[in-house]
Amino acid sequence: MQGDPTAFDQLVRRHGGAVLGYLQKMTGDATQAEDMFQETFRRVHEKAHTLRSDNVKAWLFTIATRIALDNFRKEKRFRMISLNQGMDCKDGDCQDLASVVLIDETTDPARSAEQTERIEQVRRAILELPAKQRVTLILGYYQQLSYASIAEVLGCSHGTVKTQMFRALKSLAGRLPEVAGEIA
């Protein structure tokens, strides 16, 4: 990739949507996610010579995760998404966990409005999770990384990833009892 502009372009085309979708899920703010996306690929371009793994996707998510966590530390608080704000992940490989679970084939407007509200509840609950749990959940469910890849991204053990995922799901079940009852 170093010295080969087409390789960098291919990397952005192949993984850019997934990275942007991931950052949008992490922040709940499209503008902030785009800024982090730019910083991620700036660092990727700058640090391409340090890639020592065959798992380029994990390396990209490691960089994006570090940027997101650094940003959270700087803010010292988690941002909440607006009830009016939609998450635009059409270009990324992301799909809402709530959408996957709560897909409704009917065209009933009342059911559709109820489903939309549940999706928003799940989004807000995910944004309220502690940063490590949120990262683990988003990488596992939305980006569909294996626990081994998540461990590589976070620089921790496989067991730590399992623990963080368990805690994230338990916390979501506590925050969303009515949705958790429907999922089970």
d(CA 90, CA 155): 29
CB 168 within 8 A of CB 157: no
Decide if domain 5-183 falls under CATH 1.10.10.10: yes
Which segments within the chain are labelled E, that is strand?
Answer: none
How do the domains of the chain map onto residue ranges? 5-183
List, for residues 32-60, the tens digit of each pLDDT value: 999 999 999 999 888 877 777 677 888 88
Q: What is the mean pLDDT of residues 78-89?
A: 42
pLDDT at 157: 94
Q: Taking the model in full, what pTM does it have? A: 0.60
Dmax of the chain from CA atoms?
55
The DSSP secondary structure of 90-115, one letter per residue, reads: TTTT---HHHHHS------HHHHHHH
pLDDT in tens, 120-154: 888 888 989 998 899 999 999 888 889 999 998 88
The closest alpha carbon to 35, from 6, 75, 76, belongs to 75
Residue 132 one-letter amino acid: K
Confidence of residue 1 (pLDDT cuts 50, 70, 90): low
| pLDDT score of 93 more than 90 | no
Q: Provide the percentage of residues in the chain whose pLDDT is more than 70.
A: 75
Helices 56-75 and 5-27, packing angle to 10 deg: 40
